[in-house]
Structure 1
Amino acid sequence: MKNLWVILLAILLFSCGEKLLDKPEDLIPKDKMINILRDITILNSARSISVTVFHDQKIDPTTFVLSKYEVDSLQFVISDRYYASLPNEYEAMYVEVEKQLEQKEEYVSEAKKIKDSLELERKLKQSKKMKEKLKKSMDSLP
């Protein structure tokens, strides 16, 4: 009886690890899929901020990104479904997307700080020049 329980438990465990979908022939590689998901996320966020710009320019973020990576929509849907059938792998992909987005956000934030400091420096130089001109013009008055 004890052996029967061990066999049933083993069968149960192995049946839980069964794949839901077979790997498609034209599966998008995981690293490329992560890049696609990242870019779609970025463009969808931009679209939510500037709806009219995307509408006026007739830009669909998903179509734009898929053409950038030379992937058709069917291949993307099939690959997305396959990866979604592997929850741990799919979650790991989205964790990587989130990590890359955070890195991009840090990069943009640093670039903005540098731009702002350069702009401030430029304004300070202009201000000094104006003060010098005013001082010279005041000195030249009789």
Structure 2
Amino acid sequence: MKKIISLLAIISLFISCKEEVVKQPNPLIEKEVMVGIMYDLSVLEAIRLENPASLDTFKINPKKYIYKKYKIDSLQFIKNNAYYASDYEAYASIIDQVNSKLITNKASVTALIKAEAKKKKKKKKTVVKPVSPPTKLIDSLEINQRKRL
């Protein structure tokens, strides 16, 4: 009898732990879209930390930009973020995807920066030095100046 009661207690414990802590919001933002939102937020936050004046110069409000781009509002984002955060494995998966996307794009940006630096070096090497004027021209100018004196 004790075994049956302890077994029922364990089963009820597992069933009660399986309940969703946060209910699924309506409408639910798809996981892939949430990855895009989190990626864009990460990039905009990095821009804000690296060069705060750049966002002000172009009058970009990161949150408004995200809401407009993904056609969501702040409440919808907050509810969906809380929903995904309540499921540790799903949220960790989203964060891992954002991280891998950031690493991939960092590599491509680094490659572009190196290519641009090579172009600038090449351009500096191929700069044509100004050619000195022909000596006859200088001589004729000097002669004209001497005549004036």
When the two structures are superposed, what TM-score results if normalisation uses the length of structure 1? 0.83
What residue identity is the alignment partner of 1:60?
A: N
What residue identity is the alignment partner of 1:44?
A: E
Identify the residue that residue 124 of structure 2 maps to in structure 1. 123
Which residues of structure 2 form unaligned runs of 5+?
137-149
Within a 5 Å distance, the mapping from 1:1-16 to structure 2 comes to 1-16=2-17
What residue identity is the alignment partner of 1:62?
A: K
Task: Tell me how far 1:78 sits from its aligned partner.
Answer: 1.4
Residue pair 1:66, 1:73 contacting (<8 A) in 2 also: yes
Within a 5 Å distance, the mapping from 1:1-142 to structure 2 comes to 1-55=2-56, 57-126=58-127, 129-130=128-129
Task: Tell me how far 1:141 sits from its aligned partner.
Answer: 6.0
Q: Which has the larger radius of gyration?
A: 2
Residue pair 1:36, 1:66 contacting (<8 A) in 2 also: no
Identity of aligned residues (%): 26
For 2:75 and 2:124, the matched residues in 1 are separated by 53
Which residues of structure 1 form unaligned runs of 5+?
none
RMSD: 2.2
12-21 or 55-64, which moves further after superposition? 55-64
Aligned residues: 135
Q: Deviations over 1:72-107 (max 9, x none)?
A: 112111111111111111111011111111111111
